[in-house]
Amino acid sequence: MIKTIYWENGIVKMLDQSRLPLETIYVDCDDYIKVAEGIQKLWIRGAPAIGIAAAMGLALGASDLSAETYEEFIKKLAPVRDSILATRPTAVNIQWAMEHMFDMLEKHRNESIEALKKRLKDESQKILEEDIEINRAIGEAGASFIRDGDTILTHCNAGSLATGGYYGTATAAIRVAHEQGKKIKVIADETRPVLQGARLTAWELMEDGIDVTLISDVAAGSLMLNGEVDLVIVGTDRTVRNGDVANKIGTYPVAVLAAENGIPFYVAAPLSSIDLSIKNGAMIPIEERDSEEVTNVFGRCRIAPEGVKVRNPAFDVTPARYVAAFFTEKGAFRPSDLKKLKDPAQDLEAIRIDTVSSGATTANDATAARSKS
């Protein structure tokens, strides 16, 4: 298993994914500014992975601070948190990680500053380790919706590279189904403009011996129409209270095409990607990235005229009505269930849907009933 990010001798080692699959190079981050740069420049990317990096960055930032009191420590740490928060706005996992770390500090406010610094580092490591367990559980929930012989289309990279390690989120369901001996095939959208599907998903699934075929994004509809896709599974950067899903740009057209062709569209989401504080998808901040990602391929070859106007939204929002089910570490559930939650960690236990078919009322509910058949 290739590591995306880890601690070594007090520094954070970050796999530079912007160079994959051509080069496997780790960047040494010895301060939080380097970690923030890595998140912004996509050396590390994918919602869970940038949450982990954010936590590690905060711990690095804290290690350089001197403070006499808890209040002074928090006051000096706040700008570190804010500059990490400013790196990428769409994935809620950075915000989640910062809130989690500050809540943890508050619980231990009576300890020495040195003890708090150690706690930050240990907690960031714990988030990394728990992420791997969470992804396995997401995979268990999702694999029951995959049948022997299925072909699964995925978009972007919601794989091990987007998380703390082996399973990934969308690819967790795929990996668990593969481990269960189901003969499955994967179709990976290339995912313009940064090509996470071509460079990362295709690469990591091939490493695991999972049958993967790369397509250009524009080929997805045609393959669906020809009956070559049985289900779609994607990840999410932020899923909100009404079940709307922000994910990599191009996810929304995939969902619409899936609905048009009667193909179930599933979203794999750790609870840390669910933001109940936001009512609907229109309120999700969408990151707009550098125009060069569109005018140049792989940061090198220019393919558009100099001076052309460019739009480069990095994410889009898929309305909840297109989502057949969410796969989480607490099981699978319907988008409509999100509205009822107060605390996803507690409440989802009560409403988990291992078989979605009972009481199916919509086309999506009906297609979500795959786990029963």
Residues labelled catalytic? 237
192: exposed, middle or buried (Cβ count in 10 Å: 0-12, 13-18, 19+): middle
Instruction: State how far Cα 5 lies from the chain centre.
Output: 15
Total interface residues for ligand MRU by CB under 6 A: 17
Candidate residues 56, 143, 156, 187; the one interacting with ligand MRU per rule CB under 6 A: 156
Candidate residues 47, 97, 128, 271; the one interacting with ligand MRU per rule CB under 6 A: 47
Which residue's CB is nearer to ligand MRU, number 119 or number 330?
330
Whether the CB-CB separation of 347 and 340 falls below 8 Å is answered with yes
With the C-alpha atoms ordered 160, 162, 165, 169, is the resulting torsion angle positive or negative? negative
The CA distance from 318 to 266, in Å, is 11
Q: Decide if residue 154 touches ligand MRU (CB under 6 A).
A: no
Closest alpha carbon to 367 in 248, 246, 240, 229: 229
Question: Using CB under 6 A, which residues numbered 209 to 238 contact ligand MRU?
Answer: 235-237
Whether the CB-CB separation of 372 and 355 falls below 8 Å is answered with yes
Q: Decide if residue 48 touches ligand MRU (CB under 6 A).
A: yes
Whether the CB-CB separation of 96 and 113 falls below 8 Å is answered with no
Residue carrying the six token digits 């125009």: 291
The CA distance from 316 to 319, in Å, is 10
The contact pattern for ligand MRU, residues 51-90, with x = CB under 6 A and - = no contact, is ----------------------------------------
The CA distance from 44 to 349, in Å, is 32
Which residue's CB is nearer to ligand MRU, number 16 or number 30?
16
Which residue's CB is nearer to ligand MRU, number 81 or number 248?
248
Q: How near is the Cβ of 91 to ligand MRU at its closest, in Å?
A: 6
Candidate residues 117, 238, 241, 248; the one interacting with ligand MRU per rule CB under 6 A: 248
Which residue's CB is nearer to ligand MRU, number 77 or number 247?
247
Q: How near is the Cβ of 154 to ligand MRU at its closest, in Å?
A: 9
Q: How near is the Cβ of 156 to ligand MRU at its closest, in Å?
A: 4
The contact pattern for ligand MRU, residues 25-44, with x = CB under 6 A and - = no contact, is --------------------
The contact pattern for ligand MRU, residues 158-187, with x = CB under 6 A and - = no contact, is x---xx-----x------------------
The contact pattern for ligand MRU, residues 267-306, with x = CB under 6 A and - = no contact, is ----------------------------------------
Instruction: Count other C-beta atoms under 10 Å from residue 82's C-beta.
Output: 10
Whether the CB-CB separation of 84 and 35 falls below 8 Å is answered with yes
The contact pattern for ligand MRU, residues 189-208, with x = CB under 6 A and - = no contact, is -------x------------
Q: Decide if residue 239 touches ligand MRU (CB under 6 A).
A: no
Q: How near is the Cβ of 139 to ligand MRU at its closest, in Å?
A: 12
Candidate residues 144, 242, 247, 272; the one interacting with ligand MRU per rule CB under 6 A: 247
Candidate residues 80, 278, 314, 341; the one interacting with ligand MRU per rule CB under 6 A: 314
Strands 296-297 and 245-248: unpaired
Q: Which residue is nearest to ligand MRU (CB)?
A: 235
The CA distance from 364 to 324, in Å, is 5
Residue 264 makes CB contacts below 8 A (sequence gap 6+) with 145, 231, 232, 258, 324, 325, 364, 367, 368, 370
Which residue's CB is nearer to ligand MRU, number 38 or number 46?
46
**Is the peptide bond prior to 313 cis by the omega test (within 30 degrees of 0)?**
no
The torsion region of residue 6 among left (phi > 0), alpha (psi -120 to 50) and beta comes to beta
Binding site for ligand MRU (CB under 6 A): 45-48, 91, 156, 158, 162-163, 169, 196, 235-237, 247-248, 314
